[in-house]
């Protein structure tokens, strides 16, 4: 699963598969972190809340 | 008693009635829980699975649930990426249905594998050439995406909204929902496809084997297409069922009609490609392996009727019904067509799983039959119970249908 | 094949169906050698573990033309692209390119049974129960310390008695040799067969009997058309057996032996194995 595991091979198949996987996980993670930080900033008053 | 938790302005049944409503579903959950404990404690001999039927009822349910739950990602794609605003009134329901389907499927898979404690090996010792690894990774990640999409709906609960942190977080998540929808679409494309690829790559099983494009057998693309064609039908069915039970209109017609129309076109495209693939298989792969079409359909209950039902009754027929605007505007025809389409897709998954294994490849081995045990039924139906329970809770306490108030102005609000 | 401490081998098997009497000794020897678990009630044949499985086949004709044969089926150890190896989720099964043996790592297997679905030979067996070796009944007395017993929930299959290869290699190493002899590594079934119907050896080595036998016109493989490239070959002088070993459309099968039953050469005829 990581380059440190036994099966890992430095070839294009691994790059493509885990490249896409880590990209998807990164996007999800970044989205969550972004929402969390924005919430924290709004709570602390550094950002305005958007009301509808 | 629980009226502070119920969304503003809408009417819900009394807590006592709701409690009685949950009882049968809790019963199913209990049955499934017992079955799961038995299987974990005593082993998979509790089922009727065997060395011939390595995949059985649970896998059929898994694949069926995941195919039907495709409405979540596809509706999300149409709403947030394509920008079909009318679907915003049904996207919450679709996400919850999707969450139910995927979480249920993952829970069932945890019991289905022989060594559940080693389930993490799929990720840690992944064999990237295996389609099932692709399925596992994408389904797990997508379940995470569904959870992230579900969180804002949960945080939209009236009481939780009073907590500023929850309100803001839910709001901020909702603002970037397009990002999650896009990721969900990407992940779903791959796992729906890989579920089909799983069977297409089995080159030593002539019933399932298919040619393809590079590493992807044609079943890869057919499973994606069938999932996005029928997923919205399942969403429509669940919505209509909720409307029937709650006796009120919940989703505006334009949303339902849009989903039905898109489903019609996708189903038609799928049927054309499915027929082409079936013919290519009958005249290509099957004679290549020295077999005939009838060799697969003369054993046990698995006859040609399955192909006829899958392609004509549950494929071409619902496609035609949904294509005709006057037919899909009538609730009766809409529900009939959606139901037929859902049955068709489950039959398609069933055939790839069960019939592939039932028909022996070696000429001198015998045909064995299979019927699930009560433990297998228990776990499978528990997912249905879990789904109805979770959806009922969501419908009761969360603003699942944004247009509910607007569509039901005459109903009085319930006083605390 | 790369030059290595042990050169590239392709271990395979040839089973002479003319010699096979259907006694089942191969099944018993295999089970005893490899610590195969049994059940108190073995009547459920769909869940019995039989790494070597004996099939009884018949030409389907009525008396007096009825012919019966027995068909031992171990794991085929398919070459190049075994259907089970590419589908294993946890890399618990691998084709070893140095020996040609398809191995199974029991402690890695999560029991998803995808490999069972992929194998057309039904050569893979799942442990539906925990291992059963009760002390009081003597079943523990034949356990071999060289073969790990399997826990419930994992898949197992014929390993071409890989532990015997290890034993032979250790022996050769201790004697300062690099290569093992043909008779030093033999599977339990081949060793036990009273009719000597099973021959085991290195298909890549022209001096080994198996590599010569596979060139015989009577040699065939099970489900050859699928493209699995099995390393277990069969010999039979009877065409109806060869016909049952694969699927043929009408007119596709071409008989190898155009003689009837009485006229065919018997395996007891001198010179049968040499040609």
Cα distance from N-terminal residue to C-terminal residue, chain C: 29
Looking at chain B, which residue has its C-alpha nearest residue A30? B179
Q: Do B171 and A6 touch (CB under 8 A)?
A: no
In Å, what is the CA distance from C126 to each residue of B49, C112, C187?
Answer: 10, 10, 22
User: With 60 as the cut, is the pLDDT of residue B11 above it?
Assistant: yes
Mutate which of B112, B362, B373 to disrupt the C interface (most C C-beta within 10 Å)?
A: B362
- Cβ C151 vs Cβ C106: under 8 Å: yes
Share of chain C above pLDDT 90, in %: 76
- What is the pLDDT, as a whole number, of residue C5? 34
Tokens found for residue B241: 């069922």
Q: Identify the band that residue C265 occupies on the pLDDT scale cut at 50, 70 and 90.
A: low
- What is the pLDDT, as a whole number, of residue C266? 52
Mutate which of B73, B121, B125, B128 to disrupt the A interface (most A C-beta within 10 Å)?
A: B128
CA angle B269, B273, B277 (to 5 degrees): 165
User: With 50 as the cut, is the pLDDT of residue C145 above it?
Assistant: yes
- What is the pLDDT, as a whole number, of residue B416? 36
Mutate which of B147, B169, B170 to disrupt the A interface (most A C-beta within 10 Å)?
A: B169
How confident is the prediction for chain A on average, in pLDDT? 90
Mean pLDDT calculated for residue range B247-263:
96
Q: What is the pLDDT of residues B335-369, one digit of tens each?
A: 999 999 999 999 999 999 999 999 999 999 989 88
Q: What is the pLDDT of residues B138-148, one digit of tens each?
A: 999 999 999 99
Its CATH class, for the domain covering B3-407, is: mainly alpha
Helix and strand counts by DSSP (H, E) for chain B: 19, 2
Q: What is the pLDDT of residues B300-334, one digit of tens each?
A: 899 999 999 999 999 999 999 999 999 999 999 99
Of C152, C228, C247, the CB nearest to B290: C247
Mean pLDDT calculated for residue range B113-139:
95
Looking at chain C, which residue has its C-alpha nearest residue B109? C112
Q: Identify the band that residue B13 occupies on the pLDDT scale cut at 50, 70 and 90.
A: very high
Cα(B223)–Cα(C151) distance, integer angstroms = 35
User: With 50 as the cut, is the pLDDT of residue B132 above it?
Assistant: yes
- What is the pLDDT, as a whole number, of residue B148? 96
Chain A: closest CA distance from residue B179 (Å): 7
Q: What is the pLDDT of residues B181-202, one digit of tens each?
A: 999 999 999 999 999 999 999 9
In Å, what is the CA distance from C248 to each residue of B297, C73, C199?
Answer: 17, 20, 28
Size of interface A-B (CB pairs under 8 A): 62
Domain boundaries, chain C: 2-265
Q: Do A39 and B168 touch (CB under 8 A)?
A: yes
Between helices B57-68 and B374-397, what is the axis angle to 10°?
Answer: 20
- What is the pLDDT, as a whole number, of residue B149? 96
Domain boundaries, chain B: 3-407
Looking at chain A, which residue has its C-alpha nearest residue B188? A24
- What is the pLDDT, as a whole number, of residue C1? 37
User: With 50 as the cut, is the pLDDT of residue C65 above it?
Assistant: yes
Report chain B residues whose CB lies below 8 A from the CB of C121.
Answer: 361-362
The structure's pTM equals 0.92
Task: Please name the residue that has the structure tokens 């005249």.
Answer: B283
- What is the pLDDT, as a whole number, of residue C274? 43
Listed range (A2-6, B161-165, C117-121) with the worst mean pLDDT: A2-6
Share of chain B above pLDDT 70, in %: 99
Note the helical H segments in B69-115: 70-76, 91-112
Q: Identify the band that residue C181 occupies on the pLDDT scale cut at 50, 70 and 90.
A: very high
Mean pLDDT calculated for residue range B252-273:
97
Residue C90 contacts B where some CB pair is shorter than 8 Å = yes
Cα distance from N-terminal residue to C-terminal residue, chain B: 7
Q: Do B114 and C225 touch (CB under 8 A)?
A: no
Chain B: closest CA distance from residue C42 (Å): 13
Of the two residues C103 and C4, the one the predictor is more confident about is C103
- What is the pLDDT, as a whole number, of residue B411? 63
How many CB atoms sit inside 10 A of residue C216's CB?
17
Of B113, B126, B361, the CB nearest to C112: B113
Report chain B residues whose CB lies below 8 A from the CB of C88.
Answer: 127, 130
Q: Do B130 and C222 touch (CB under 8 A)?
A: no
Cα dihedral B138/B143/B146/B147 (nearest 10): -140
Q: Residue C157, SS3?
A: strand
Query: Nearest Cα to B341, choosing from B243, B244, B237, B193?
Result: B237
Q: What is the pLDDT of residues C32-48, one digit of tens each?
A: 999 999 888 889 899 99
Its CATH class, for the domain covering C2-265, is: alpha beta
Q: Identify the band that residue C255 occupies on the pLDDT scale cut at 50, 70 and 90.
A: confident
Mean pLDDT calculated for residue range B226-248:
96
Q: Do B361 and C226 touch (CB under 8 A)?
A: yes
How confident is the prediction for chain B on average, in pLDDT? 94
Q: What is the pLDDT of residues C217-254, one digit of tens each?
A: 899 999 999 999 999 999 998 889 999 999 999 988 88
- What is the pLDDT, as a whole number, of residue C259? 53
Chain B: closest CA distance from residue A39 (Å): 5
Residue B187 contacts A where some CB pair is shorter than 8 Å = yes
Q: C-contacting residues of B 344-363, CB under 8 Å?
A: 356-357, 360-363
Cα distance from N-terminal residue to C-terminal residue, chain A: 44
Q: What are phi and psi of B10, to 5 degrees?
A: -95, 160
Q: Do B113 and C153 touch (CB under 8 A)?
A: yes
- What is the pLDDT, as a whole number, of residue B350? 96
Of the two residues A47 and A23, the one the predictor is more confident about is A23
Q: Do A13 and B144 touch (CB under 8 A)?
A: no
Q: Do C114 and B130 touch (CB under 8 A)?
A: yes
- Cβ B301 vs Cβ B342: under 8 Å: no
Q: Identify the band that residue C269 occupies on the pLDDT scale cut at 50, 70 and 90.
A: low
Of the two residues A28 and C140, the one the predictor is more confident about is A28
- Cβ B50 vs Cβ B370: under 8 Å: yes
CA count, 13 A, side-chain hemisphere, B350:
14
Residue B106 contacts C where some CB pair is shorter than 8 Å = no
Q: B-contacting residues of A 1-40, CB under 8 Å?
A: 1, 5-7, 13-14, 17-18, 21, 24-25, 27-28, 31-32, 34-36, 38-39
Chain C: closest CA distance from residue B409 (Å): 53
Share of chain C above pLDDT 70, in %: 91
- Its ipTM equals 0.93
């Amino acid at each position: 699963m990581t380059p440190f595991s036994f099966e890992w091979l430095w070839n294009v198949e691994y790059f493509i598969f885990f490249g896409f996987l880590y990209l998807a996980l990164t996007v999800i993670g970044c989205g969550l972190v972004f929402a969390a930080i924005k919430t924290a900033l709004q709570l602390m008053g550094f950002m305005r809340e958007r009301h509808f | 008693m629980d009226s502070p938790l119920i969304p503003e302005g809408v009417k819900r049944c009394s807590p006592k009635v709701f409690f009685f409503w949950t009882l049968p579903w809790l019963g199913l959950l209990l049955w499934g829980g017992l079955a799961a404990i038995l299987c974990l404690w005593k082993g998979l001999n509790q089922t009727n699975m065997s060395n011939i039927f390595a995949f059985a009822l649970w896998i059929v349910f898994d694949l069926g649930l995941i195919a039907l739950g495709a409405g979540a990602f596809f509706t999300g794609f149409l709403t947030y990426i394509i920008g079909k605003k009318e679907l915003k009134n049904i996207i919450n329901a679709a996400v919850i249905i999707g969450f139910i389907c995927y979480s249920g499927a993952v829970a069932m898979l945890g019991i289905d594998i022989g060594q559940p404690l080693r389930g993490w090996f799929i990720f840690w010792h992944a064999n990237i050439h295996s389609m099932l690894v692709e399925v596992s990774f994408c389904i797990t990640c997508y379940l995470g995406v569904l959870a992230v999409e579900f969180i804002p709906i949960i945080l939209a609960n009236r009481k939780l909204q009073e907590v500023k942190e929850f309100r803001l977080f839910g709001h901020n998540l909702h603002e970037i929902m397009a990002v999650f929808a896009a990721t969900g679409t990407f992940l779903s494309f791959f796992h729906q496809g890989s579920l089909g690829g799983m069977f297409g790559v089995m080159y030593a099983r002539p019933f399932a084997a298919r040619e393809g494009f590079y590493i992807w057998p044609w079943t890869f693309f057919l499973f994606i297409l069938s999932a996005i064609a029928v997923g919205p039908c399942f969403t429509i069915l669940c919505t209509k069922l909720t409307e029937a039970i709650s006796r009120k209109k919940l989703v505006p017609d334009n949303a339902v009609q849009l989903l039905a129309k898109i489903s019609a076109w996708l189903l038609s495209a799928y049927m054309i490609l499915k027929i082409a693939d079936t013919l290519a298989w009958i005249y290509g792969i099957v004679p290549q392996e020295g077999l005939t079409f009838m060799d697969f359909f003369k054993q046990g209950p698995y006859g040609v009727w399955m192909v006829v039902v899958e392609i004509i009754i549950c494929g071409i027929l619902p496609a035609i019904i949904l294509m005709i605007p006057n037919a899909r505007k009538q609730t009766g025809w809409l529900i009939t067509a959606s139901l037929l389409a859902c049955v068709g897709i489950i039959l398609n998954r069933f055939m790839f799983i069960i019939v592939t294994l039932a028909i022996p490849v070696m000429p001198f081995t015998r045909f064995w039959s299979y019927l699930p045990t009560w433990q297998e039924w228990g776990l499978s139906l528990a997912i249905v119970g879990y789904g109805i329970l979770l959806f009922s809770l969501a419908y009761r306490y969360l603003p699942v249908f944004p247009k509910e108030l607007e569509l039901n102005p005459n109903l009085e609000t319930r006083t605390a | 094949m790369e030059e290595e401490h042990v050169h590239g081998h392709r271990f395979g098997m040839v089973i002479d169906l003319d010699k096979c009497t259907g006694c089942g000794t191969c099944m018993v020897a295999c089970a005893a050698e490899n610590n195969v678990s049994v059940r108190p009630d073995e009547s459920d044949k769909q869940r019995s573990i039989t790494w070597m499985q004996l099939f009884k086949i018949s030409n389907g004709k009525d008396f007096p033309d009825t012919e019966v044969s027995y068909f031992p089926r171990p794991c085929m150890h398919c070459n190049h692209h075994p259907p089970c190896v590419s589908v294993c989720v946890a890399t618990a099964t691998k084709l070893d390119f140095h020996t040609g043996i398809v191995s199974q790592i029991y402690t890695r297997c999560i029991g998803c049974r995808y490999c069972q679905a992929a194998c057309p030979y039904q050569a893979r067996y799942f442990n539906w129960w925990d291992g059963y070796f009760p002390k009081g009944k003597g079943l523990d007395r034949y356990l071999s310390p060289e073969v790990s017993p399997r826990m419930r929930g994992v898949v197992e299959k014929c390993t071409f008695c890989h532990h015997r290869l290890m034993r032979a290699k250790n022996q050769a190493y201790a004697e300062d040799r690099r290569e093992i002899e043909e008779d030093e590594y033999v599977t339990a079934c081949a060793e036990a067969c009273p009719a000597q119907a099973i021959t085991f050896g290195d298909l890549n080595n022209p001096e080994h009997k198996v590599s010569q036998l596979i060139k015989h016109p009577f040699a065939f493989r099970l489900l050859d058309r699928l493209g699995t490239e099995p390393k277990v070959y069969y010999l039979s002088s009877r065409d109806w057996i060869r016909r049952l070993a694969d699927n043929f459309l009408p007119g596709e099968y071409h008989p190898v032996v155009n003689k009837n039953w009485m006229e065919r050469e018997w395996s007891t005829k001198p010179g049968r194995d040499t040609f």
